[in-house]
Amino acid sequence: MYDVLVIGAGVIGTAIARRLSRYQLKIAIVEKENDVSMGASKANSAIVHGGYAEANEKLKGRVCYQGRRQYAQYEEELHFGFRETGSLVITMNEEDLPALEAIKANGEKNGLPDLEILNHDQILSIEPNINPDVKYALYCKGAGVCSPYEMAIALAENAVKNGAELFLNSEVLGIEKLDEGFRVKTSGLDFTTRYIVNAAGLYSDKIDQMVNEPTFTIYPRSGEYILFGRGTGEVLNTVVFSMPTKMGKGILVTSTYHDNLLMGPDAINENTEDVTKGTNVERLYDIYKQGLSSYANVDPTKFIRSFCGLRSVSSTDDFVIGPTATKGFINVAGIQSPGLTSAPGIADLVTEILEEEGLALVPDETYDPYREAIIERKEELLPADYIHRHLDLPYDNPDKVICRCEQVMAGTVKDSLERGIKVTTVDGVKRRTRAGMGYCQGAFCRNRVRKMIDLTYGSAIDPLSDQQEGGYDRVTRQEFLEYLQEREGEDFDLTAYANAAAVAMAEDKVRAAAAKKETDRAIGR
C-alpha cells in the first residue's frame, strides 16, 4: 500500500510529489498520458507572476507570492530554467492610473514588497522599445520567466530519484473507499493507498466525483499563442502585460527563458475538456495585432509555431485546495493562472493539509534536493562550420549533431533518456532538450531523435510520436503570413514590412541590452 497517491503529473502534481519525497513515505504518481507535463504545464505563458493580480480574499491571491519567492531556490536545486526579469503592466490611458494603483495596493496586501508605479520616462529607461505612447506601468521587480515543461520534468525526475514511483499511461478509471484508504483502478495497474491527492487538472472534477458529491465544476478556457524564433525575445527585458480584464491578464509580450518572443494568450471559454489539437488563424491574427500595441517592430516572418493551452477554471473562480468529505482524499483543483507560479506554495500547503489529516511526516535523511541540468540557456550559438563537421558522426558519439537549429548533440539526447523516466516520444525529447524547437520545427532532427530513442531503449517507437505528424492542426507560418497579407490588404507589402521590422528588431536588441545593463546595475539584480 502507498502512503500517498498523486493523480496527475503536471507541474502541480510533480511539485507535490517532490515535496513529499523529503519524508519516509511510499509515493505513487499516476498520469494518464505517456509523459509528464502533458496538459496545461506544457502550453502556457511560462510567466512567474508577481502575485499582485489576484484578490487577497482568494486562495490564489494568497499563495501566489509564497510560490514566487521560492523560484530562485528551486532553480538552484533543479536547474530547469528560471530568470528574474521583472514585469510591467502598461497603459496608454491617463484614466487607468487609479486601476493600476488598486492593483498595486492588492499586491501589497498579498505581501509583495517590490511594486512601483512608473511614469513614461521611467518605463522607457527599463523597456526602451515598447509603445512610446505609454503613460504609466505597474513594475514588479521579482517577476520572471521559466521553462514550465522543463520544471515539471525536473520535479518528476527529482521525486523519482528520492523514491517516488511514476506510472505513465495510467488513466484513473475508478476509486473505491476502503476501511483503511482507497483502491484506485487505472488503465494500467490498480493501487491501494492511504491518501489521494487529486491534481488531475481539467479532469479533477471528474476524479473528485468518483468519491464525493459534486461541489465544483471545471470549465476549460483556451488560450492561443504565437512563438517567434530564437533571439527575437532579446528586444524586451521584462514581461509586458496590457491592462487585465475579467477573463485574464490580457495579451502579453515577452521573451521566453530561451529568448524566443512570445505573444498571447487570448481567452475563450470552451465546451469541451478535450485538449485542443489546433489553432485558429483569426485568433492568432488578433493576438498579433494586440501584441503590436505593446511592441510594434515584430518581424512576422520569424513566426515558428502557434500553440493552444487549456486552463482549468473552477466554478468557484478560485483554487480548490483542501480535504473533502471523504477522509484522506485531498483536492488540488481549478489551478489556472497563476498556478505555475504558485506551484511551490501549493506543494507546501498540501503537505501541511496531509499532516493535519493524519499523515506522519518523518524526514528522510537520504533526501537529495538536487538535479543536474539537461541543457543550459545558450547565450551564443556554435559556428556553422562546427555544426557541419559534426553532422555525420556515428550515433554513439556524444558530439554528433542531432538538431541543427537548437544545436542539440547526441550526448544531450542520451542523457535525457537515462534519468529514471522512460521517454517514448519525439516530443518528450523535445521538451527535455529543445531538439525540434527551432526554425525548421523538427524537419531535420525528427528522424535523428527517433533513432536515438530506438538505440537507447533497443526498440522502435511510434513513428507518429511527434505531434507535428500526429494530426495536430496548428496554423503554420505560411498560413499565418498569407492571412496577414489578406487582412492587411493588397497594398500591404509583406516583404518590405518584414525587412523593415528585421532592421528595427536588430537595433532594438542593442537598445534593450544597454537598458538592461543599466537597470540591473541600479537595482542590484
Beta strand residue intervals within 212-284, DSSP E: 218-230, 239-241, 252-255, 260-264, 268-269
Q: In what order do the strands lie in the sheet with 144-146?
A: 47-48, 144-146, 82-84
Sign of CA dihedral 163, 169, 175, 178: negative
Q: Angle at CA 410, nearest 5°, toward 409 and 415? A: 105
Pairing of strands 401-403, 408-409: antiparallel
Contact (Cβ atoms closer than 8 angstroms) between residue 2 and residue 113: no
Return the amino acid letter for 7.
Answer: I
pLDDT attached to residue 462: 75
- Here the cell at position 165 is 514511483
Q: Where are the alpha helices (DSSP H) in 147-266?
A: 148-161, 204-208
Q: Which residues of 444-467 are buried (b: 16+ CB within 10 A; e: fewer)?
A: bbbebbbbbbeebeeeebeeebbb
All structural domains of the chain: 1-82+143-216+318-373 (3.50.50.60), 87-141+218-314+476-525 (3.30.9.10), 384-457 (1.10.10.1100)
What is the model's pTM?
A: 0.96
Per-position pLDDT tens, the chain of length 525 = 999 999 999 999 999 999 999 999 999 999 999 999 999 999 999 999 999 999 999 999 999 999 999 999 999 999 999 999 999 999 999 999 999 999 999 999 999 999 999 999 999 999 999 999 999 999 999 999 999 999 999 999 999 999 999 999 999 999 999 999 999 999 999 999 999 999 999 999 999 999 999 999 999 999 999 999 999 999 999 999 998 766 556 799 999 999 999 999 999 988 765 555 689 999 999 999 999 999 999 999 999 999 999 999 999 999 999 999 999 999 999 999 999 999 999 999 999 999 999 999 999 999 999 999 999 999 889 999 999 999 999 999 999 999 999 999 999 999 999 999 999 999 999 999 999 999 999 999 999 999 999 999 998 887 666 665 555 689 999 999 999 999 999 999 999 999 999 999 999 999 999 999 999 888 887
Q: What is the helix, strand, coil percentage profile of the chain, to 5? A: 35, 20, 40
* Residues pairing with 220 in the sheet: 312
**Residues known to be catalytic:** 49
Q: Supply the DSSP symbol for 318.
A: S
Q: For residue range 462-505, what is the model confidence (pLDDT) as tens digits?
A: 766 666 555 568 999 999 999 999 999 999 999 999 999 999 99
Q: For residue 107, which of 116, 98, 97 has the smallest C-alpha distance?
A: 116
> 3-state class of 390 per DSSP?
coil
Q: For residue 447, which of 491, 395, 503 has the smallest C-alpha distance?
A: 395
Q: How far is CA 127 from CA 166, 170, 504, 507, in A?
A: 43, 46, 15, 14
- Here the cell at position 312 is 482549468
| Residues 213, 194: Cα–Cα separation, whole Å | 20
